[in-house]
Structure formats: structure tokens, C-alpha cells
Amino acid sequence: MAHQEPYKRLIIAVSVIIPVVVAILFRVKIEGYDFSFLPPIYASINGLTAVLLVSAVIAIRNKKRQLHERIMKTCIGLSAVFLVMYVLYHMTSDSTPFGGEGAIRYVYYFILITHIFLSVIVIPFVLFTLGRALGGNFERHKALAKYTFPIWLYVAVTGVIVYLMISPYYS
């Protein structure tokens, strides 16, 4: 089994370390820097990632494997850039409370909570799916990608929705 998932332990470690480090960094506050310009940028990165994920699926369905691979690597790179910007913003800015009232408040928090939960869950899915592709195990890659794609797409799309819903409340 180890030869089928040579990086299993590393992927599991990275999948635990990333959310733990992000949670720890959220408690760190660095004064004197203004990164208030970042939220629309990282929301746009989420939107671009969503478009590229759909494009990658279209590419592979049309048997354009090299294009699919390039798009997916771009999505992983964009996700890494997003994460850095997101953490940088939250380390240098106070949290913005959602100001909506009534039913929209419940909608917002449902979207936010599922977005956060699935953003953690998607990390090992993406890494195992990538590992299987890089290892040439395309049947297992495809089998896992059927789950990875909708989760990742949901996280990317809801990242944009969360931004659009909270943006009126940024100070």
C-alpha cells in the first residue's frame, strides 16, 4: 500500500500543519501595517480559481491532459497565494463583524462555516489527488478527483460569496 501513496504521511502532516499554523497565526496581531486592500484581491483569486477549476475539468473531458495539468498547477499556486494573503490580512487587521440582520445573517454564517470547514477538508483531497496524478496513477487520481473537484469548487465560490456579503461592513 505504501508504494501506492508514497507521500501519504507527508500529505497528512501538511494537511494538519496548515490549518493549525493558520489558526495560530490568526491570534498574532502585527500593528503598523495596512493590508486592507487584500480582501478584494484574494476574493478575486478565489473567483479565478473557481473558473480555472471548471476549465480544467472541461480540458480533461476534451482529452487535453497537458492543459488540464497546467491549469490545475495554476489553481494550486493560486490557492497558496490566497492563503498567504489571507493570513497576512488577518494578522494585520481586526476581524470585521457581519452587519446583516434577519435571515441573511443565518445564510451568511451557514456559508462561512461550511466554507471554513471544507477549506480545511479540501487540503488532503487536493494533495492526494495531485500525488496520484504526479505518480501516474490516473485511475485513482480520477476516482478521487470526483470528490476533490466539487469540494474545492465550493470553497472557491463561497470564498467570493463570503467576501461579497461582508464587504459592505469593512471599515
For residue range 113-131, list pLDDT tens digits in order.
999 999 999 999 999 999 9
**Is 18 a domain residue?**
no
**Is 83 a domain residue?**
yes
**Is 14 a domain residue?**
no
The pLDDT tens digits for 49-108 are 999 999 999 999 999 999 999 999 999 999 999 999 999 999 999 889 999 999 999 999
CB–CB of 163/171 below 8 Å?
no
Q: HSE (CB half, 13 Å, CA atoms) of 67?
A: 13
End-to-end CA distance of the chain: give it in Å, rounded: 52
Q: Global pTM?
A: 0.92
**Is 127 a domain residue?**
yes
Residue 163 sits in a domain of what CATH number? 1.20.120.80
Structural domain count, the chain: 1
Interatomic CA distance for residues 109 and 157, integer angstroms: 15
Domain extent for 99: 34-169
